[in-house]
């Protein structure tokens, strides 16, 4: 290859290079290949899947990243239908016990029916205007009032509702989990949009976030999509720089290898963009979004407890580090596997088994922790944040991150119109980027 990144004949190596082999990248690659394009996928990790990741713990498959799926998430559901994947149901219904840890550390043992009723009442109150604000949820900024309300934090709105102690604590725990930050930072309307996407229905929303996973695992679905692309895929290929000019784009890896194409589709998590040198630089609007918009300090953790605790769920209000603790599996011989989701991993060392055990015993007093399986997305150098959440004032700016710049197209869940904290948002964004690519090739001028 010449210094310009083209072959001796002057032709680019590929029509399109996709950076990232998560769901956004896999879908973009497949759609580009369906257009007849020569596609290269560059993935910095030694695996595909991005911020979804499947592992094993106590002989069971576990999801250590994005996992929640539902049929009201149309892009992902279509992919599951296309490749023959069904739903696996988590044991969230028919709880034996429900707990609420308040911000001061007190733990309430709440009858499950009461817990559901009070949480649902809080959620309904918080999202009471969802249909009014988002009559068409996939056009979330069409209502001018949404732009004005973006400056309102989730905390400010929550504390204006006159909720009781249990309602306020359970809703604040949920919001902390979604924001991956104190609720004083989270954009109020960015969360309400999820309620609108779930058919303006609290029960459906709750099912979409906690109850259903992909049968066979998210990794298998991502593999099926990427296999359909028949693209060249290179793992361990960390992109160091991206240069674009009139003839095309040249991507240089940390190893020094160089590849050229007519266009590039970038699906990096937002906070990773500063690790790549762009020539010319990205727009000022994108740079401001990258610096300010996202904040999620989240992580995932599985814990094996000797005792059979039954089917339980607990919300823990901020600043308690474990926002949601739910039974993943249980039985007389197994004991209990707990799945824990943290919005603010910086509040605890999730690799310290003693610290983890001490937190669990605040809810399950006699629990004997035998082993743990943590994954810290906020400290992963190829993500730097967990799920995509918007700081107040920045939800209204997400389209700046999604906008094409010359021969560069941008995808990833943070750029989605719809379910931006979910796999569905990543799939949606990959479809959009491929559509933008089609327009570029039809009219490259």
Binding-site residues for FAD, please? 43-44, 239
Rounded Cα gap, residues 13 and 252, in angstroms = 13
Name, in order, each residue with C-beta under 8 angstroms of 192's C-beta and a sequence gap of 6 or more. 126, 127, 129, 130, 133, 134
b/e map 9-38, b = 16+ CB within 10 Å = eeebbbbbbbbbbbbbbbbbbbbbbeeebb
- For 134, the 3-state DSSP assignment is coil
CA 338 from centroid of its chain's CA atoms: 21
Specify binding-site residues: 43-44, 239
Distance CA(45)–CA(49), nearest Å, equals 9
Where do we find the tokens 């799926």? 69
Tell me how far apart the alpha carbons of residues 368 and 20 are, in angstroms, rounded to a whole number.
40
What span, in angstroms and rounded, lies between the C-alpha atoms of 357 and 388? 28
Whether 63 contacts 301, CB under 8 Å: no
CB 418 within 8 A of CB 402: no
Beta partners for residue 239, in sequence order: 253
Residue 145, φ and ψ in degrees, nearest 5: -65, -30
Q: Please give the DSSP secondary-structure letter assigned to residue 210.
A: I
The 3 state secondary structure assigned to 27-74 is HHHHHHHHCCCCEEEEECCCCCCCCCCEEEECCEEEECCCCCCCCCCH
């Amino acid at each position: 290859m010449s210094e310009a990144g083209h072959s001796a004949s002057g032709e680019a190596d590929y029509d399109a290079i996709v950076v990232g082999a998560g769901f956004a990248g896999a879908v973009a690659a497949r759609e580009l290949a369906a257009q007849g394009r020569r596609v290269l996928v560059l993935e910095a990790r030694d695996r595909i899947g991005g911020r979804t990741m499947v592992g094993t713990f106590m002989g069971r498959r576990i999801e250590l990243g994005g996992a929640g799926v539902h049929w009201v998430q149309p892009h992902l559901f279509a992919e599951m239908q296309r490749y023959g994947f069904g739903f696996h149901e988590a044991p969230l219904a028919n709880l034996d016990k429900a707990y609420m840890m308040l911000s001061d550390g007190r733990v309430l043992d709440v009858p499950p029916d009461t817990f559901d009723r009070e949480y649902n009442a809080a959620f309904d109150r918080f999202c009471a205007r969802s249909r009014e604000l988002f009559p068409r949820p996939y056009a979330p900024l069409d209502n001018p009032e949404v732009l004005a309300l973006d400056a309102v934090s989730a905390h400010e709105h929550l504390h204006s509702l006159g909720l009781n102690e249990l309602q306020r604590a359970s809703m604040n725990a949920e919001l902390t989990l979604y924001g991956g930050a104190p609720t004083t930072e989270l954009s109020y309307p960015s969360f309400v949009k999820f309620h609108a996407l779930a058919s303006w229905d609290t029960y459906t929303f709750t099912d979409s976030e906690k109850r259903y996973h992909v049968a066979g695992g998210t990794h298998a679905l991502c593999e099926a999509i990427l296999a359909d692309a028949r693209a060249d895929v290179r793992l361990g290929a960390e992109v160091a720089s991206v240069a674009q000019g009139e003839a095309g784009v040249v991507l240089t890896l940390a190893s020094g290898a160089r590849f050229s194409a007519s266009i590039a589709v970038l699906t990096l998590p937002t906070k990773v963009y500063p690790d790549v040198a762009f020539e010319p630089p990205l727009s000022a609007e994108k740079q401001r979004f990258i610096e300010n918009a996202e904040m999620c300090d989240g992580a995932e953790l599985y814990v094996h407890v000797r005792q059979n605790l039954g089917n339980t769920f607990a919300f823990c209000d901020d600043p308690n580090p474990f926002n949601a603790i739910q039974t993943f599996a249980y039985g007389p011989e197994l004991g209990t596997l707990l799945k824990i989701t943290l919005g603010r991993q910086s509040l605890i060392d999730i690799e310290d088994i003693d610290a983890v055990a001490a937190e669990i015993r605040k809810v399950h007093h006699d629990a004997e922790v035998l082993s743990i399986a943590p994954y810290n997305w906020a400290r992963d150098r190829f993500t730097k944040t967990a799920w995509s959440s918007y700081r107040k004032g920045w939800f209204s700016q997400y389209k700046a991150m999604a906008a094409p710049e010359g021969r560069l197209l941008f995808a990833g869940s943070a750029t989605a119109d719809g379910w931006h904290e979910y796999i569905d948002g990543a799939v949606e964004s990959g479809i959009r980027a491929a559509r933008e690519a089609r327009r570029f090739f039809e009219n490259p001028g």
